[in-house]
Structure 1
């Protein structure tokens, strides 16, 4: 007869064996653990640069591509995410159609970050194309980093989750410039001369609107829009400006369109003031020369003599390329990308975009913020004047002996303008 104790032991062993077998079966059916996330350290982030390398604006494009590649190397060596940046240059010939071809070529190479800035007409085409691509290709999104295209529509009616602007838009710059002009009592008659595309039209429109608020005594005595990057002789325009009696010109022209305009003004004997957005861009310093000292003003988010780490960077860039660095938004792009990728612990554009929204980061001239509502960088603006370089303001572009000297700084809240953006975010 089996004892109760022995019977209990057998049952216990059987139960243990059953549990062990069940554990084996459970272990066999349990899903394999997900692989650990790939560390960011050393990941290569490719950025396609899409801007002109041919035509009249090629000198500007060449300078900016060098700028991106120069700072890609610098920030690859030191950024909080530990990533490596690589910039691929694609010539868009300043054409929206060519830009879309370049975008496709970049995406075919697996590039998920693009940058562009020369021409708001191009920018608007790229925003539309990126929006459509991202909607149709979830998991393979592309992020557009705008370094210089300043049409306000890009962060208002045409705003996009996939677009971030690092320059100050046309309305922000005109807000600062018109505030400065409130104290320019010798300016009584203005001529508006701008390029015939979205940016130029916006400059003219915001000039009229802000001056009406701040200097209603100023007369607009003439207005012209001319073809973008096609005019080689601005003498007829200078003749019209002189005939109008204008004592100042407001222009958003850039590149050859500004260089050739001021060259024609010098040759035509026009002695009025110029209020500009892009005096520091390739070719314009040489065209200005020494003649218009004290009469040419620029509104921008940086300038040649801003100081800080920029002083050493500009010298190094000039020593390396024999050219001047002036597109400071390049630095902000790498600063914010590195920080956003570190915060997101990812290089995925969807996660990086979320980390960029509302991001506050330190730049060469203080803390900046990427406004979440419309992806417009909030930053100080400077009004500078063209005059002889001196010990306090020593940097001389294009070896002219001249420079841009700051005469007024506007903190971000002064030049910040409201937005009508209705942002559509993924998953909303």
Structure 2
């Protein structure tokens, strides 16, 4: 009898242990769907390397004991191509996807994932959004299967204008943005925040231009100069920001730029030694954070001769590891439930994936372009310059409300 009891107890312990670590040693495939061709290819290439670099890092350290594998698929910055990429990923058994360059693409993927998961129970997919910042994705278009690890446009504009309202030299502002959902939202939230915080500041002009198609921004700079604007707000990224800055330098525009993406591939080189003290960026990380981030950035640069700047990659792996350990599974249904509302530690402290809308709540930093020095030594693209922090915003400052009415499984 005693022997039987011992055998039952031992069996129960083995079953319990297996349940607790059922995911240990599993390979979790993540399909990366973003541009590797066209004008935005340099940004996509950098971010694919970032995901692969940290897949190797977190495969060794995550609490779930899983291994991460990244499959890169070129979507040519096209929603249609992205849907083809999603199908190709699903055909390979991928249950996790990530994307971030272009909110028009993200919107198409969210709808496709929702349809797939509704029609194919047991084969659900999770969308890990690393950079697509349209606020609608965590408001009117929120989805249980979508998790955003960047700060959305409204959050960044909330922090940006909180900083700007104390800058007494800002009187006339020009809004120049890309003509798609993200650019439209930058304009909308800029106007709302100015009306609320800086009613005396005038918006003296605004333009929307095609995404990733303009090669010469000189005509736009001429309009900005003619308007008398002392400040430009732009959500432009990639070649659209790099070429805009290049045109401003060549055209002799000496006003300030308040941006979302100065640190992204190509823009530091376009700025060069110019723009010191005049170009600002609001973001959830910066080049001079030190600690683990500083070590990882140095290693990334040594390995790829490139700069790491997409900090959301780290948050994605940190959250996945924690959620899979909590769920004791890699099943997207169980992992999504664990991710929803999860509080975890990332490179910038304790952050939370807000349960209401699946928008990560995290601190933001305002930085300014200046010469690199002993205090802020990191020099992107070997320019001798850097983005130095001038103001930090705790999570509660930049957090914005949500109207999300999320439909949850079951």
Which residue number in structure 2 is paired with residue 419 of structure 1? 402
TM-superposed deviation, 1:40: 1.4
* Equivalent residue runs for 1:11-26 within 5 Å: none
* Equivalent residue runs for 1:255-270 within 5 Å: 255-270=238-253
Residues in 1 aligned to 2:146 and 2:110: alpha-carbon distance in whole angstroms: 7
Q: Deviations over 1:82-106 (max 9, x none)?
A: 0000000000000000000000000
Which residue number in structure 2 is paired with residue 241 of structure 1? 224
Which residue number in structure 2 is paired with residue 128 of structure 1? 111
TM-superposed deviation, 1:365: 1.6
* Equivalent residue runs for 1:188-267 within 5 Å: 188-267=171-250
Q: Deviations over 1:340-382 (max 9, x none)?
A: 0000000000100000011111111210000000000000000
Q: Deviations over 1:383-420 (max 9, x none)?
A: 00000000010000000000000000000001000000
Which residue number in structure 2 is paired with residue 273 of structure 1? 256
Classify the secondary structure of the residue corresponding to 2:104.
helix
What's the TM-score, normalizing by structure 2?
Answer: 0.95
In the alignment, structure 2 segments of 5+ residues that lack a partner are 1-14
TM-superposed deviation, 1:76: 0.2
Classify the secondary structure of the residue corresponding to 2:391.
strand
Q: Deviations over 1:104-145 (max 9, x none)?
A: 000010000000000000000000000000000000000000
TM-superposed deviation, 1:318: 0.2
Which residue number in structure 2 is paired with residue 380 of structure 1? 363
* Equivalent residue runs for 1:22-421 within 5 Å: 37=19, 39-421=22-404
Aligned length, in residue pairs: 395
In the alignment, structure 1 segments of 5+ residues that lack a partner are 1-32
Looking at CA atoms only, which structure, 1 or 2, has the larger radius of gyration? 1
The 8 Å contact of residues 314 and 325 in structure 1, kept in 2 or not, is answered as: yes
Residues in 2 aligned to 1:71 and 1:396: alpha-carbon distance in whole angstroms: 21
> In angstroms, what is the RMSD of aligned CA positions?
1.2
TM-superposed deviation, 1:150: 0.1
What's the TM-score, normalizing by structure 1?
Answer: 0.91
The 8 Å contact of residues 308 and 365 in structure 1, kept in 2 or not, is answered as: no
TM-superposed deviation, 1:39: 2.0
Residues in 2 aligned to 1:68 and 1:366: alpha-carbon distance in whole angstroms: 20
Classify the secondary structure of the residue corresponding to 1:418.
coil
